[in-house]
Every structure is written in structure tokens, then in C-alpha cells.
């Protein structure tokens, strides 16, 4: 019978496997990245638990990682900008009217470009 930690990581892997990119778990980065991209789930670290008594429970904040890999990305958007680069994801809670907030990550994309017109 799998541990609760293993069940959680298996469920997370199942979720990312539903995406169009190939999803692996704990694998070494392959020599070729599929055209649709690659996601690799790393088990991470469970950290030290906080303990409560009566009943005895161990509360973890497990830090797993998902590596997103894209090979051959067009960093100029087919010549529309000089360079495009993504920054580290920032976790956010998105409000939903009449429901609990949605957990998401915002990935800032910096678009480098030069224009002759300051309004362009």
C-alpha cells in the first residue's frame, strides 16, 4: 500500500500527464525534448513536520518541483520582438465569484523590443 506522500505525488503526476507535454517522474532529462515540451516531476523534500498532539498528527509542507522544458523555442516570436524570456513563476490565489479562490502561478514574460516611436 502506497504511503500518503506517494499517493499525493502520484496524483500530481496524473494531473500534469493530462497536459499536451510529455510528463515524466524523477527521470533524467532525455537527449531529445518532444516538440510539445516536457514536464518532469521531482519528488522534492517533505521537510520537517509540525506535530500536534491528541490525536498525534504530523503536518508536512512538502516541496515538490515540476521542471518545464521546451527545446527550440522561438525567442523572437517569429521576428516580432528582439528577445523573449520567462521569469520564475509566482504563486497566486485567483478570486472566483461565489466560490473558493483558485490556486495558480503567474509566469512573467519579458518581451525585449525597440521602436522608433515612443507610443509604438
- Predicted confidence at residue 17, as pLDDT, reads 95
- Residue recorded with cell 518532469: 40
Strand boundaries in the chain, DSSP class E: 22-25, 38-45, 50-52, 57-59, 63-69, 83-86, 90-96, 99-106, 109-112
Taking the complete model, does pTM exceed 0.75, yes or no? no
Instruction: Give the closest residue to 40 by CA, choosing from 22, 52, 58, 56.
Output: 22
- Residue recorded with cell 516531476: 41
Tens of pLDDT along the chain (120 residues) come to 888 889 999 999 999 999 999 999 999 988 888 888 899 999 888 889 999 999 999 999 888 988 888 777 888 888 888 998 888 888 888 888 888 888 888 888 898 988 888 776
Amino acid at each position: 500500500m502506497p504511503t500518503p506522500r506517494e499517493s499525493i505525488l502520484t496524483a500530481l503526476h496524473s494531473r500534469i500527464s493530462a497536459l499536451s507535454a510529455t510528463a515524466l517522474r524523477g527521470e533524467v532529462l532525455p537527449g531529445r525534448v518532444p516538440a510539445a515540451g516536457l514536464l518532469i516531476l521531482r519528488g522534492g523534500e517533505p521537510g520537517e513536520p509540525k506535530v500536534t498532539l491528541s490525536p498525534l498528527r504530523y503536518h508536512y509542507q512538502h516541496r515538490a518541483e515540476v521542471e518545464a522544458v521546451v527545446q527550440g523555442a522561438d525567442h523572437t516570436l517569429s521576428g516580432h520582438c528582439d528577445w523573449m524570456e520567462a521569469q520564475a513563476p509566482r504563486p497566486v490565489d485567483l478570486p472566483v465569484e461565489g466560490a473558493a479562490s483558485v490556486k495558480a502561478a503567474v509566469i512573467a514574460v519579458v518581451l525585449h523590443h525597440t521602436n522608433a516611436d515612443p507610443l509604438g
